[in-house]
Structure 1
Amino acid sequence: MDFSFNETQTMLREQLSRYLRERYDFVTRQEMLALPGGRDPGVWKAFAQELGILGAAFPEVHGGLGGGAVEHMVIMEELGRAIAVEPYLETCIVGGAALLAAGGDERQALIPGIIAGDVIIAFAWAEPKSRYNPARIETRATADGAGWTLSGHKSVVIAAPYATHYLVTARTGGSLGEAEGVSLFLLDAASRGITRRDYPTVDGWMASELYLENARAGPQALLGAEGAALPLIDELLDRAAAATCAEAAGAMRRLHELTLDYAKQRQQFGQPIAKFQVIQHRLVDMLMEVEQAVSMSYQATLRLDLPAPERARAVSQAKAKIAKGARALGQAAIQIHGGIGITQELAAGHYFKRLTMLESRYGDQDHHLARLEAMMLAEAA
C-alpha cells in the first residue's frame, strides 16, 4: 500500500512544522502555560489566519481546503511533536464532523467561524460513571415549547474554559446504558444554567467539570434525530481516538529524539552513555515503538470512512497498541534520563505526562481490547 503524502499534505506538514519549531518551542510553551487560561489565544488565530490549517479538512463549499482524515492525521502528528495545547481535535475533528453530519444551514453556518478561528468547541461526553461508554450517561434533556432543558454533570471536558460552544450528549429517552434515547446537542457556552469548575490537567491542558442545571437551549441545538445519536457519537469517538493515536505518534517520535540526544551528551565512566550496549538496545526498542505507532495510526486513519464495524476494529487495534507502546517508550525515556527526566525544566518529563494522558484518552488499552473481544465474539456467534 502506498503511504506517501500528496503535495498539499506535504506542504501542510512542512508549514505547520516550521511554525511550531520557530514559534512554539518548549520554552515558549512553558511561558504560554503560565498565562491566564493556560494558553496564548494568538496561536489559534495564527493557525487560522497565517497558516490556514483550521480549514484543511473541511469541504471547499464551506471555505475549507477539501481535505479529510489524512489531513487531520498530519496536523495531529505535528501538534503531538510540539505537545501543543491547542483544541484542534475538539473543534475541527469532533466539532466539525458533528456539524457536517447534522446538516442544516444554521448549524453549518458555524463552520466558517471554526475556519476563521472564532469558534472553539469542547466535547462534553464523559461523565463520572460513564467509563468510556457514551450510552451510560445520566444527563437528561427535556423538550418544551421553546426548545430544550438540560441537566447533568459532564467531567474532564478538555478546552471548556475557553470554548465558545459545548457539544453535549444527553438522554431524551430510554434508561442508563440503552442505545436508544441518546441525543447530541450543541450549546452556546454562555447559555443560562451552565456552570464550570476549571482546572489544569497534569499535562498542562485546561479542562472543566460542567454542571448543567436546567440549562436552556433552542430547538436548533439538537443535532440529528432525537434519541438516535449514538451511531454518530460512536463515529465521533472513533475519529477522536484515531486523532489521539496520531498525536501520540508525533509525541513519541519527538521524545525518542530528545532521549537519543541526551544519551549522546550524558557522560558516564568517561564516555557518552549512548555507547553502552544496554542503552543502545533500549533506544532501538523505543524507535520500534515509534514506527509501530505511526503504522497503526495510518491504518486507523485510512479506515475511518469504512462501515462502522471495520472502522471500530481498526481504531481499537491502533489505540490498544499505541497505548501500550506509549507507556513503554515513556518509561524507557525517563529511565535513560534518570531523575532529571521528571523535572519541570526538561522537556522529556512533559512529553511523558502528555503520553500518559493520551494513553487513556478516548479509551485506554483495556477498554479497546475488551471492545475488540466483544466484536470478535459477536462475529463468531
Structure 2
Amino acid sequence: MNFEQSDDRRMLSETLRRYLADAYGIEHRNAVAYADPFHDPERWAELTDLGLFYALVPEARGGMGGHGFDIVTVFEELGRALCPEPVLGQLLAAALLADTDALMTGTRYALAISETDAPYGIHDITTTAVQDRLTGRKTVVYGAPTADVLLVAARDGDSIGLFQVTASEAEITGYAMIDGGPAGEVFFDETPAQQVMENAEDLLQTALDRGALALCAEALGAMDVVQGMLVDYLKTRKQFGQPLGAFQALQHRAIDLAIEIEQARSIVILAASADGTEAFAKRAAQAKHLVGRIARQVSEEAIQMHGGIGITWEYPLSHYAKRLVMIDHQLGDSDWHLERLMADLAGGA
C-alpha cells in the first residue's frame, strides 16, 4: 500500500495547515468555542471561500474528492488546529444528499440521529414521521445551533427514513460541548419536513462510518500536536538539576505513546483505503475502537507527565485532552464499536 499523499491532497493539507494556524490560535479558538454561537461565522465563510467543502464531495457531484483519504486529509488538519467549526455535519450531509450544491457553497447542515435511549444505533430510533411531519427529540446534535438545515433520521412505518427540516422550524436548545463547539437538543412537534429517502438505514450507516473515519483522523492530528508538546516539555522542564526527558521511565512512557499513535495512524489508513468497498463498515468500526482507546491513553498520559500545568485552562494541552476524550464518544464509543465487531464476527461464524 502506498502511504504517500497525492500531490492534490498534499497541497490541500499544506493550505489548510497554514490557514488554520493563522486563524485559530489557541486563545481565539477558546474564545469562540465556548461562547454563543460556539464557532466563528467569519472563519466559516473563509473556509467556504477556501473551497474546503468541495473536498468532501465526490467529483461526480461537482466536488473535488470525497474519498476516504480526502476525509482524512481535511480532518487531520482540523484536529491539529483544534478547530471548533462544525465541519462534521457537512461531511455527513455530503454522504446523504444527491444535491450538494448548497453544501459546497456554505449552507450549514447537521445530522440529527442520536436519541436519549438510542445514542448511537439507528434501529432503536423513536422519532416518528407522519404525513411529512416529525415528532420526537434528538439529543447532542453536533452543529445544531448553527445549522441552516437539519437532516433527521425518523421512523417511517416499519423503516427508518431520512428527512430534511429547515432548522428554524424546529425547537433547538444550543450549548457548547465540554470541549467547545456547538451541539444542541432538537425537539420536533409535528414539525414540517421533506422526505429525502425511504429505507435509509444502509445509507445512514455508511454516512456514520465515514463520520467515524473523520473523527479518527481528527484525533490523529490532535495526538500529533500533544506528542510534540509532551516531547518539548520533557526537554525543557527540569527536576533535580536535569531535564525530565533524562529520566528513563519517562522516556519509555513517551516512546510507548509514539508507538500507539503510529498504530492509530495505520488503522486509519486501512479504513480510508476501504472506503467504497464492502469492508468499509468493519474497518471504520475497527478504527473507531482502536483510536478511541489510544486517544484517551494519550490524553491521560500526557497530562500525568506534565503534572498540574497540564490541566490548566491557559495551557493548550488541557483543551486537546478534552477533545480527544470527546472524540471517543462521538458517533459511537470504543465499547459500542467493539460490540459491532463482535456481532459481525458472530454473524459470520
Q: TM-score range by the shorter chain?
A: over 0.9
Distance in 2 (alpha carbons) for counterparts of 1:244 and 1:377: 27
Distance in 2 (alpha carbons) for counterparts of 1:212 and 1:326: 35
Are 2:202 and 1:223 equivalent residues in the alignment?
no
Are 2:3 and 1:30 equivalent residues in the alignment?
no
Q: Which residue of 1 aligns with 2:342?
A: 373
Q: Which residue of 2 aligns with 1:103?
A: none
Task: Report deviation, 1:260.
Answer: 1.1
2:67·2:275 contact (CA, 8 Å) conserved in 1? no
* AA of the residue aligned to 2:128: R
2:33·2:176 contact (CA, 8 Å) conserved in 1? no
**Aligned match of 1:203 in 179, 184, 187?**
179
2:137·2:186 contact (CA, 8 Å) conserved in 1? yes
**Aligned match of 1:280 in 245, 251, 270?**
251
Q: Which residue of 1 aligns with 2:156?
A: 172
Task: Report deviation, 1:59.
Answer: 3.7
* AA of the residue aligned to 1:140: T
Distance in 1 (alpha carbons) for counterparts of 2:344 and 2:36: 45
Distance in 2 (alpha carbons) for counterparts of 1:268 and 1:25: 30
C-alpha change, 1:355 and 1:34, in structure 2 (3 Å) is closer
Q: Percent identity?
A: 38
Q: Which residue of 2 aligns with 1:98?
A: 96
2:137·2:188 contact (CA, 8 Å) conserved in 1? yes
Counting matched residue pairs gives 349
C-alpha change, 1:34 and 1:239, in structure 2 (3 Å) is closer
2:161 is paired with a residue whose SS is strand
Are 2:153 and 1:154 equivalent residues in the alignment?
no
Where structure 1 has 5 or more consecutive residues not aligned to the other structure, the ranges are: 101-107, 175-180
2:19 is paired with a residue whose SS is helix
Task: Report deviation, 1:67.
Answer: 4.7
**Aligned match of 2:166 in 168, 174, 188?**
188
1:56 is paired with a residue whose SS is helix
* AA of the residue aligned to 2:184: S
C-alpha change, 1:201 and 1:57, in structure 2 (3 Å) is closer
**Aligned match of 1:265 in 236, 248, 254?**
236
Distance in 2 (alpha carbons) for counterparts of 1:74 and 1:165: 26
**Aligned match of 1:115 in 99, 104, 108?**
104
Task: Report deviation, 1:339.
Answer: 1.2
Q: Which residue of 2 aligns with 1:245?
A: 216
Task: Report deviation, 1:277.
Answer: 0.8
Distance in 2 (alpha carbons) for counterparts of 1:33 and 1:316: 28
2:56·2:66 contact (CA, 8 Å) conserved in 1? yes
Distance in 1 (alpha carbons) for counterparts of 2:228 and 2:138: 37
* AA of the residue aligned to 1:157: V
Distance in 1 (alpha carbons) for counterparts of 2:196 and 2:308: 49
**Aligned match of 2:280 in 307, 311, 317?**
311
2:293·2:334 contact (CA, 8 Å) conserved in 1? yes
Distance in 2 (alpha carbons) for counterparts of 1:34 and 1:172: 36
Deviations 1:176-198 (A, max 9, x none): xxxxx11111111122xx21111
1:134 is paired with a residue whose SS is coil
Are 2:337 and 1:337 equivalent residues in the alignment?
no
Are 2:293 and 1:324 equivalent residues in the alignment?
yes
C-alpha change, 1:29 and 1:372, in structure 2 (3 Å) is same
1:57·1:69 contact (CA, 8 Å) conserved in 2? no
* AA of the residue aligned to 2:332: G
Q: Which residue of 2 aligns with 1:46?
A: 46
Deviations 1:15-46 (A, max 9, x none): 00111112212122123235531221111111
Where structure 2 has 5 or more consecutive residues not aligned to the other structure, the ranges are: none
1:235 is paired with a residue whose SS is helix
